[in-house]
Amino acid sequence: MTAMGRYGNHKSAPRYPHPFVNEVQLSSAQKIRGVLLGAVLFPTRLALAALFFLLMWPFAKLRLAGLSAKQRAEPVQGWRRWLLHPIILLLSRAVFFSLGFFWIRIKGRRADPREAPMLAVAPHSSFLDILILCPAALPTVVSRSENSSLPIIGALLEFNQSLVVSRKDPESRRRCAAQLKERLTSNGRWPQMLLFPEGTTTNGQALIKFKLGAFMAGVPVQPVLLSYPNKLNTVCWTWKGTDWMEVVWHTASQLYTNITVEYLPVYTPSQEEKANPTLYAANVQKLMAEKLGIPATDYVLEGKIPVQRMGCLSLPVEAPGRETLTLLQRAGLSTSSVESALRRMMDRCQSGRESCVGVEELGSLLQLKDKRRAVDIFGLYSKEGRMDLRQLCLSVAAVSGLWSLESLIQIAFTLFDGERKGSLTSGEFKELLVALVGFSQNNTEELYSGISSRGQPTQEDLRTLLTDHPTYQKLFREYLKPVDVSGHGVLGNGIKELVINGSATSHKKDD
């Protein structure tokens, strides 16, 4: 049996272009079976799970009742632990048992907190992964601060003495990091901690880049592999695809759901890894990926957008320009129609009129009959109810195959040289790069400084950067490679000429 067969969610699972998409694949027979079983199992199981959750609430609240803030900052001891901990553990297991997780297959041995203060669990496939807290004896976790206000969930986080963090608050993140390090280096005084180092859920076909929180303290970690070896993968909940309610429905509608937890040997970091958390995290990721038989990747979720790394660039896994072309093709637009739409939008941007539009005006410019297509395209670029036409124009042009690289650079410069001064300000340069790659970049100021040593960069400076920089060469060669949306090669065979504000740009492709 292959590694994917042993650890994967489904031996014949469909292959997706990236780890952030998953759809429950059902045959006609499985749909009928799911409806028949779900009609009985779904309401029964949800009612039982809700009952056990409600039973947990008073015990969870009792654990820290009457303690001062100082006492709450210390690990719970005495009767509050030996009496209440087993009750919450039993009720937690009952919740998942009622949802059809009858058996948990355990492989390997969980290390003592003194051996490994941290359990690093991957792949993180679903909100149902919290089931692993049961065989791991309810270790402490890190949770978003928003969860603290949820009914019952907030009480359970308090019971667990979880660390809560606001991802939007830098001070909260620093405080959480300090508390995490304190607990991990307490030599067993605090309970073992459990983290999902990927930081978000995926389809399990690859491990995405591990976040550094679990590795900053430089203490040993125990890698833990989590899998659902079932004929039908119902548990995955990802950025795109099956939503959380469908996950609950499909999972609760199965007779049972298998889960396997495998504890790997404790990983003790070298001195080099202790000094370099990035190296430490990467090595643990590679080890776990090798055991799973899947690739270790540098995908990451930034600002709720899945991105991949290419040198110094962060690139959306689904380029907005490609998505737009696909939607336009589904709407029935021909190559000439796409060209005409780009011409109208570019002319508008250069006419002195506002380049930001709403969804209604976008639909009119694209001449889309189906408003839903306009809404879908608008959603790829919108910010606070408006979108910048320049972003759409440049991102679509970059992947359309209608322009040579030289012509594309001229179009980009013309669109973002707002005052037609023949140079780009720092803000204009940043907006241009965002439009080109579809995501805000962290190193924009450094790049701008490098090409503006003799003043604000000109079109020639931009051309030099985009054609000579190794990362941007790879960007155009691989990520922005012209897309085939028609089944007959790239979008078009080259348009004779497009005039922007009186400047002609050639559409002859590079050889």
DSSP string for residues in 149-172: GSTTHHHHHHHTT-EEE-TT-HHH
Q: Domain ends where: 222, 248, 265?
A: 265
Distance CA 299, CA 203 (A): 13
Q: Domain ends where: 223, 247, 265?
A: 265
Distance CA 301, CA 491 (A): 30
Residue 276 falls inside a structural domain:
no
Domain with 38, as residue range(s), is 28-265
Over residues 158-176, mean pLDDT: 90
Of 3-7, 57-61, 90-94, 178-182, the range with the lowest mean pLDDT is 3-7
Q: Are residues 254 and 324 in the same domain?
A: no
Residue 117 falls inside a structural domain:
yes
Instruction: Report the percent of the chain where pLDDT is more than 70.
Output: 92
User: Residue 12, exposed/middle/buried by CB under 10 A (0-12, 13-18, 19+)?
Assistant: exposed
Q: Domain ends where: 265, 299, 334?
A: 265
Residue 391 DSSP SS3: helix
Question: In which band, very low, low, confident or very high, does the pLDDT at 68 lie, cut at 50, 70 and 90?
Answer: very high
Question: In which band, very low, low, confident or very high, does the pLDDT at 59 lie, cut at 50, 70 and 90?
Answer: very high
pLDDT value at position 502?
Answer: 41
Instruction: Report the percent of the chain where pLDDT is more than 90.
Output: 69
Q: Are residues 52 and 197 in the same domain?
A: yes
Q: Are residues 257 and 396 in the same domain?
A: no
Residue 131 falls inside a structural domain:
yes
Residue 305 falls inside a structural domain:
no
Residue 67 falls inside a structural domain:
yes
Say if residue 309's pLDDT is above 60.
Answer: yes
Number of domains in the chain: 2
Instruction: Assess contact for 41 and 52: CB atoms under 8 A.
Output: no
Of 67-81, 195-209, 463-477, 485-499, the range with the lowest mean pLDDT is 485-499
pLDDT value at position 14?
Answer: 60
Over residues 64-71, mean pLDDT: 92
Say if residue 317's pLDDT is above 60.
Answer: yes
Say if residue 338's pLDDT is above 60.
Answer: yes
Residue 289 falls inside a structural domain:
no
Distance CA 260, CA 509 (A): 53
pLDDT value at position 494?
Answer: 41
Count the Cβ atoms, other than its own, within 10 Å of residue 368.
22
Say if residue 236's pLDDT is above 90.
Answer: yes
Q: Are residues 210 and 107 in the same domain?
A: yes
Q: Are residues 466 and 368 in the same domain?
A: yes
Q: Are residues 149 and 243 in the same domain?
A: yes
- Token pair of 128 as six digits: 């149902």
Of 9-13, 89-93, 284-288, the range with the lowest mean pLDDT is 9-13
Residue 140 is classified by DSSP as B
Count the Cβ atoms, other than its own, within 10 Å of residue 41.
19
Residue 326 falls inside a structural domain:
yes
Residue 129 is classified by DSSP as G
Distance CA 138, CA 134 (A): 6
Q: Are residues 215 and 136 in the same domain?
A: yes
Which tens digit of pLDDT belongs to each residue from 385-430? 899 999 999 999 999 888 889 999 999 999 999 888 899 999 999 9
Over residues 17-43, mean pLDDT: 93
Q: Which amino acid is residue 224, in one-letter code?
A: V
Write out 189-212 in H/E/C secondary structure.
Answer: CCCCEEECCCCCCCCCCCECCCCC
- Token pair of 295 as six digits: 């690739």
pLDDT value at position 127?
Answer: 94
Say if residue 10's pLDDT is above 70.
Answer: no
Q: Are residues 256 and 337 in the same domain?
A: no
Residue 298 is classified by DSSP as -
Of 8-22, 259-273, 332-346, 353-367, the range with the lowest mean pLDDT is 8-22
Q: Which residue has the tokens 């390090």?
A: 181
Count the Cβ atoms, other than its own, within 10 Å of residue 91.
19
Q: Are residues 398 and 474 in the same domain?
A: yes
Distance CA 383, CA 177 (A): 31
Instruction: Give the N- to C-terminal CA distance of the chain in Å, as an integer.
Output: 47
Going by C-alpha positions, the residue among 446, 8, 19 that lies closest to residue 207 is 19
- Token pair of 256 as six digits: 């049972």
pLDDT value at position 445?
Answer: 87
Going by C-alpha positions, the residue among 487, 402, 471 that lies closest to residue 437 is 471
Q: Are residues 255 and 380 in the same domain?
A: no
Say if residue 125's pLDDT is above 70.
Answer: yes
Q: For 146-192, where are the E strands, in sequence order?
A: 163-165
What does the chain come to in residues?
A: 511
Indicate the pTM of the whole model: 0.85
Distance CA 262, CA 155 (A): 29
pLDDT higher for 154 or 350?
A: 154
Q: Are residues 326 and 202 in the same domain?
A: no
Q: At CA 132, angle to CA 246 and CA 140, rounded to 5?
A: 115
Q: Are residues 345 and 439 in the same domain?
A: yes
Which tens digit of pLDDT belongs to each residue from 458-496? 999 999 999 999 999 999 999 998 865 444 334 443 433
Mean pLDDT, the chain, rounded, equals 88
Longest CA–CA separation in the chain, Å:
82
Residue 18 falls inside a structural domain:
no
C-alpha torsion sign, points 130, 132, 135, 137 = negative
Distance CA 422, CA 358 (A): 29
